[in-house]
Amino acid sequence: MKVVIFMPNYIGDLLMTTPAIRFLKNCVNSFKTYVVVKPYLLELLESNPYIDNFIFKLSKLQLLRDVIKIKPDYVILFRTTFFNSLVSKLSSVKYSIGTNEDCSSLFLTETIKKDLSLPYRTECAFLVEKFLSFVNINCKITSDELKKLDFFGYDKEEIKDSVEQKLQKFNIDTNKKIIIISPYSTRITKMLTVEQIVEIVIRLNKIYAKDIEIVFVGAKESIFFVNQIISNLGIEFCKSLCGELSLRELGYLLSISSYLISVDCGVAFVAQAVGTKTTIVFTSTLPERYGPYNENVKIIYRPTLCSPCYKDKCKRKDYKCIKQVDLDEIINSVSL
């Protein structure tokens, strides 16, 4: 039996689906899983033993053809859109399930209510449980299973060698404890200000003196923002690997680092998958939506009356949820 699973398009969201995929394969290992994913996210999944095949999102027409070609028996939508639901219908599957949004009920055989108060990884697991019930298998996922995110292949020798070369190239001393900071997000409402991060770096350096290396990470889009931070500090205080690491290299770097301070972004979830001690700072999004978290994760969140808004920009224009973040709380959360 072939099960096609439509995946989300962001790093953190994608990693949060992995407990549900593991749960599915552990319940019915004979089912073949076909994961629909964007090519740039392949690194996160290609060594995953619970995934059998990949279908890449290149164009809508190509995706439709590829899904129909494999003649799937079932479809599970971890990302429910009008198009994904339509593809499910045109594939003539026995059963398809997703959330009730974007007119999905017109095309899917079953939908569940979209509940933004429900943790996303719980939602994914619930979709799998519903599917298993359809095929007469009664399985329930545990909270502990949901806490474990899967990321395989980041510790291969060639990845280790590549990261070590880059650490040497950028004069990052691996004899010191490495504190990673991930300050950038696709939404400005999820980011701290340059001034706040500068203060965090200065205070960490005062506390730990010469015992640490502070390293910024992020995609190429984060380079300009991080350069503003470094220009206020100097390379003696911190280094940057923004735009320099693949996803697997990021995973390995985090695995050998002592701590991560991150806003709500994909890096925080890579860290959870590789076991790094982490503090995540939430502002415009709800922490509970992205849990349950393992024991290595600490959450900083001081909601305002308008939190969580999930907006790209602050409609009130005062960014109060960012400005009221307690930097003492962040500093005190770090344990090396």
> DSSP labels for 239-303?
EE-TTT--HHHHHHHHHH-SEEEEESSHHHHHHHHHT--EEEEESSS-GGGG----TTEEEEE--
The sign of the dihedral angle between the CA atoms of 285, 288, 291, 294 is: positive
The alpha carbon torsion through 147, 16, 124, 312 (nearest 10 deg) reads 130
**236 or 281, greater pLDDT:** 281
Q: What is the pLDDT of residue 37?
A: 98
Q: Does domain 157-333 have CATH number 3.40.50.2000?
A: yes
Q: What is the pLDDT of residues 24-65, one digit of tens each?
A: 999 999 999 999 999 999 999 999 999 999 999 999 999 999
Q: Which two tokens stand for residue 288?
A: 């509970």
Q: Which two tokens stand for residue 285?
A: 């999004």
234: pLDDT strictly greater than 90: no
- Give all strands (DSSP E) within 101-193, no chain letters: 110-112, 177-182
236 — pLDDT class (breaks 50, 70, 90): confident
DSSP summary character for residue 10: S
Q: Which residues pair with 179 in a beta bridge?
A: 214, 259
Q: What is the pLDDT of residue 116?
A: 83
Residue type, 105: S
Looking at residues 10-32, what average pLDDT do you find? 98
Looking at residues 154-178, what average pLDDT do you find? 97
Pair type for strands 297-301 and 95-99: unpaired
Looking at residues 75-80, what average pLDDT do you find? 98
Q: Which two tokens stand for residue 150?
A: 């899967």
Kindly report which listed range (10-19, 305-314, 321-330) carries the lowest average pLDDT score: 305-314
User: Which pTM was predicted?
Assistant: 0.96
Q: What is the pLDDT of residue 187?
A: 95
**209 or 177, greater pLDDT:** 177
DSSP summary character for residue 31: S
Looking at residues 76-97, what average pLDDT do you find? 98
Q: Taking a C-beta distance cutoff of 8 angstroms, is the pair 85, 67 a contact?
A: no
Question: Which positions ≥6 away from 59 have C-beta within 8 Å?
Answer: none
Kindly report which listed range (1-10, 250-259, 302-311) carries the lowest average pLDDT score: 302-311
Looking at residues 232-247, what average pLDDT do you find? 93
Q: What is the pLDDT of residue 156?
A: 98
133 — pLDDT class (breaks 50, 70, 90): very high
Q: What is the pLDDT of residue 92?
A: 96
Report the mean per-residue pLDDT for the chain.
97
Looking at residues 214-231, what average pLDDT do you find? 97
Looking at residues 71-95, what average pLDDT do you find? 98
Question: Which positions ≥6 away from 159 have C-beta within 8 Å?
Answer: 153, 246, 248, 249, 251, 252
Q: How far apart are CA 246 and CA 254, in angstroms?
A: 12
CATH number of the domain at 2-147, out of 3.40.50.720, 3.40.50.2000, 3.30.1700.10, 3.30.1360.80? Answer: 3.40.50.2000
Q: How far is CA 252 from the centre of its chain?
A: 15
Q: Which residues pair with 281 in a beta bridge?
A: 263, 300
78: pLDDT strictly greater than 80: yes
The residue ranges of every structural domain in the chain are 2-147, 157-333
Looking at residues 175-193, what average pLDDT do you find? 97
Q: How far apart are CA 316 and CA 319, in angstroms?
A: 7
In terms of C-beta density within 10 A (0-12 exposed, 13-18 middle, 19 or more buried), how is residue 320 classed? middle
Looking at residues 200-212, what average pLDDT do you find? 94
